[in-house]
Amino acid sequence: MTIQWFPGHMAKARREVSEKLKFVDMVFELVDARLPLSSRNPMLDQIIQQKPRLILLNKVDLADEYQTKQWIAYFKQQGFYALAINSKENSSVKLIMATAKKVLAEKRQRDQERGIQPRAIRAMVIGIPNVGKSTLMNRLIGKKIAQTGNKPGVTKGQQWLRVANELELLDTPGILWPKFEDELIGKKLALTGAIKDQLLHLDDIALYGIDFFVRHYPTRLAKRYKLAEEMEQLPAAELLMEITKKLGFRDDYERASERILLDIRQERLGRFTLDRVDEFEDDNDGLD
């Protein structure tokens, strides 16, 4: 499976984010709670560098609860603040605001000692496509969308969106895709629907999904498709054939693949997390 990566677009996005970083106090880095590392762009570490950061694990309602707790602990060990959120819920706004204040507590204390009065936190939201950036920004802003006026040094055309009196979001940074050097990352993103199905071989993604659920959630797979207990001994390709028959699709593996992907994305096999902390730790991979 090959997924195209466009260097020109990446360079433009990188330049745009780098230019806007100097106008904000911190960055909200939005990732998918089902794949907290695979939905990150590793290039962000080079761009953001020492800028204060809050990692937001979005779509937590779709992720495995135990694994989410593991990831929050993992990011904490790495020295980052991290929150599990559902950008569709208002309660997430309060959590984000409270944690953002913690992230900037030391800086604000230093400013106060220098006689600088506290002001609204200025932030930008960064995330790859389909992690819920627009939904989160709309939730943060609500119906009260207002331009807060010109800021010194802010280039023409940039807009500040005010959230109550506590937060100002700089709209809109470039959206970054990850570089798909690892085929597995592409499959994970595809399974969650982050990549258009037209760009993929659906049976490849379905096979990956089957193999993943056999390894981590076998009971759910067996129950959904009425599979025998010994299914764990079968390779994913044979299981796809068996599921195709159970669905009544004869030899239409493409149709069966579409159904499996739909079932996974619509939670008919339950909540799941594709990135597992123990696997990344075993590989010595993760945040640089």
Contact 139, 96 (CB under 8 A): no
Structural domains of the chain, ranges and CATH numbers in brackets: 7-171 (3.40.50.300), 201-282 (1.10.1580.10)
Question: Is 138 annotated to bind ligand?
Answer: no
Question: Is 133 annotated to bind ligand?
Answer: yes
Question: Is 60 annotated to bind ligand?
Answer: yes
Question: Is 87 annotated to bind ligand?
Answer: yes
Question: Is 132 annotated to bind ligand?
Answer: yes
In tens digits, the chain (288 residues) has pLDDT values of 455 555 566 677 778 788 888 899 999 999 999 999 999 887 788 888 889 999 999 999 999 999 999 999 999 999 999 999 999 888 888 899 999 999 998 888 888 888 888 888 999 988 887 888 888 888 888 754 444 444 433 444 467 888 878 899 886 655 666 556 678 888 999 999 888 787 778 999 999 999 999 999 999 999 999 998 778 789 999 999 999 999 999 999 999 999 999 999 999 999 999 999 998 876 655 565
Helix (H, G, I), strand (E, B) or coil at 209: helix
Question: Is 277 annotated to bind ligand?
Answer: no
Question: Is 182 annotated to bind ligand?
Answer: no
Contact 38, 274 (CB under 8 A): yes
Strand order in the sheet with 81-84: 81-84, 53-58, 26-32, 121-126, 167-171, 159-163
CA distance 86 to 79: 23
Helices of type H across 118-271: 133-141, 183-191, 202-216, 218-225, 236-246, 253-265
Question: Is 31 annotated to bind ligand?
Answer: no
Helix (H, G, I), strand (E, B) or coil at 168: strand
DSSP code of residue 147 = B
pTM above 0.85, yes or no: yes
Question: Is 131 annotated to bind ligand?
Answer: yes
Question: Is 252 annotated to bind ligand?
Answer: no
